[in-house]
Amino acid sequence: MSEAVPPQRELRSHQWYGTDGLRSFSHRARTRQLGYLPEEHLGKPVVAVLNTWSDINPCHSHLRERAQAVKRGVWQAGGFPLEFPVSTLSETFQKPTPMLYRNLLAMETEELLRSYPVDGAVLLGGCDKTTPALLMGATSADVPAVFVPAGPMLPGHWRGETLGSGTDMWKYWDDHRAGLIGDCELGELEAGLARSPGHCMTMGTASTLTAAAEALGVTMPGASSIPAVDSGHERMAAAAGLRIVGLIREGRTLADILTREAFEDAVTTVLGLGGSTNAVIHLIAMAGRAGVPLALDDFDRLARDVPVLANVRPSGGPYLMEDFHFAGGLPGFLSRIPDLLHLDRPTVAHDTLREQLAGALVHHDDVIRPRTKPVAAEGGVAVLRGNLCPDGAVIKHIAAEPRLLRHTGPAVVFDDYRTLQRTINDPALGITPDHVLVLRGSGPRGGPGMPEYGMLPLPDYLLKQGVRDMVRISDARMSGTSYGACVLHVAPESHVGGPLALVRTGDPITLDVPARTLTLGVDPGELERRRVAWTPPPERYERGYGALYAEHITQADTGCDFAFLAKKGNVPDPYAG
């Protein structure tokens, strides 16, 4: 790869700094106001370091220090780094869901990169929605970019057990509801589940999406699994700072990296990791920004040939992300499925993925399984069709009890999550293990933002009887750390009149994962009478960002992007004067 510095006119930032007009004079004067000498920045690639750190986001609490490492790398490569604080989307605290704000961060990323004197960007994120948001925005801005994953936190510990954040939270909360552990044990678990900076160390949404980013080719090799507090994580951040300057000099933007082949490899990776169902929505949205057609059927088609090899919770186990990293990380994992990948496409670090994976090894065959001994024979996510989900639904069937993968039962319907929470333990509902729990009003518009309500709680009295899984159906999403026979992302959602809006308690519902079907056993004539009688619920927001969101959000099967952002169209660079 060439490392020759191009003439100033080839740098986008030259429009701000290098002309003879009043505006360039003003820009240079204001840069002196910031304390920089002319020789520190003039003629050098300007690198935006977009940082999603905040005091309220524990997944990113170390990113201030990592931004300094990125800057160190940029300086060493002859670039000029500028740090930009951008929105932090904290899965742990932001309500009603950070998914509501994914597109807002994507817009902020795109417009910052477009409106400032920026030649390229390093993107610091990792908590669930930050990875797709940053990459969606940078893709639309079409600049050279490298993504720096926040990294997984250290494993949790409690009374001799190793804990996985999220997954064990659900498990022990159900134990508490079943009366198996008390308040003292729960207090100890609060202090043991999450014990360092970094995102969830299970193969939840955060680890799934950062692995997808690495598979796409937009991170440094092996970056996605480095523990957040490992010194290797700081070295990786510095290496990203070094590399972005080379990408700028080569003129290699995300458009060169994010090809159809790259997205197919990312889908293959997610499926082979037994990753989060949330990746379906995010990868479709990211592909849309890159102008790459990607649909639900692509996930199901690829899943048929991809074995699950990552023996990591919640789909596998007992291992966590630190185990995965030291077993070989994503390079080791991908080295086991080279025939399923497009090896001749470029990445930000190498001319080809083949070159990037050269020499990759697996050091622990039970963490990253060989093809002859997979965790599951095919990918961990299935796409369902039927009269209850004409535009599709998904299920992480690898995390469900096998007995429920073919199941027919009567529906118990809840119109919203608050009602479910208030009434789920009411014996008068008569819920049995054979019932199918149905939640509506939780989709992109109805939620709003598709909150992670999809792992519907079971009644306490069933938990006490030892029941830990039931078929559950919703237009919501589910945390990637969750588990169970949960059908998610039902499209169209109930809020816009999808078939889920017509289901009544007692209606028979059949889930058949091997056949990839989800059907409502109600006569079409009766469904039509219900449809005629149905009235749309009122919109939740009358003004502000929520109203903008409701007006422009697309459905789950097309990625939940804003229609005006997902479409093709020219956006001119600003005139810098």
Which three-class secondary structure string do you get for 124-165?
EECCCCHHHHHHHHHHHHCCCEEEEECCECCCEEECCEEECC
Q: Using CA atoms, how far apart are residues 568 and 18, in angstroms rounded to an integer?
A: 31
Ramachandran assignment for 274, one of left (phi > 0), alpha (psi -120 to 50 degrees), beta (any other): left
Q: Hey, is 507 helix, strand or coil?
A: coil
| Token output for 482 | 């969750």
Which CATH code fits 44-154+196-357?
3.40.50.2300
Residue spans of the chain under pLDDT 70: 1-9
pLDDT given at position 7 = 46
The two beta strands, 145-149 and 156-158, are: unpaired
Backbone phi and psi for residue 256, each to the nearest 5 degrees, phi listed first: -75, -25
E strand segments, 230-288: none
| Token output for 427 | 């014996």
Taking the CA atoms of 38, 244, 102 and 154 in sequence, report the sign of the dihedral they define.
negative
Backbone phi and psi for residue 481, each to the nearest 5 degrees, phi listed first: -85, -5
Which three-class secondary structure string do you get for 183-217?
HHHHHHHHHHCCCCCCECCCCCHHHHHHHHHHHHC
Q: Which residue's structure tokens are 């026979």?
A: 485
Q: Could you say which DSSP state residue 370 is in? A: -
- Of 311, 330, 312, nearest to 269 by C-alpha is 330
Q: Is the pTM of this model over 0.85?
A: yes
pLDDT given at position 10 = 82
Strands of the sheet containing 46-51, edge to edge, are: 80-85, 46-51, 120-125, 145-149
- The DSSP string of 444-490 is TTTTTS--S--SPPPPHHHHHTT----EEEESS---TT--SSEEE--
pLDDT given at position 43 = 95
**Whether the Cβ atoms of residue 338 and residue 359 lie closer than 8 Å to each other:** no
| Token output for 350 | 């190498």
- Of 242, 245, 294, 244, nearest to 268 by C-alpha is 294
Burial letters 261-283, b for 16+ CB under 10 A, else e: bbbbbbbbbbbbbbbbbbbbbbb
Residue 474: exposed, middle, or buried by beta-carbon count in 10 A (0-12, 13-18, 19+)? Answer: buried
Enclosing H/E stretch for 511:
strand 508-512
For residue 231, give Cα distances in angstroms to 155, 165, 211, 234, 236.
17, 22, 19, 5, 9
Q: Where are the domains of the chain?
A: 44-154+196-357, 157-193, 381-533
CA triple 395-480-565, angle to 5 deg: 85
Q: Could you say which DSSP state residue 499 is in? A: G
Which CATH code fits 381-533?
3.50.30.80
| Peptide bond preceding 7 in cis form (omega within 30 of 0) | no
Q: Hey, is 50 helix, strand or coil?
A: strand
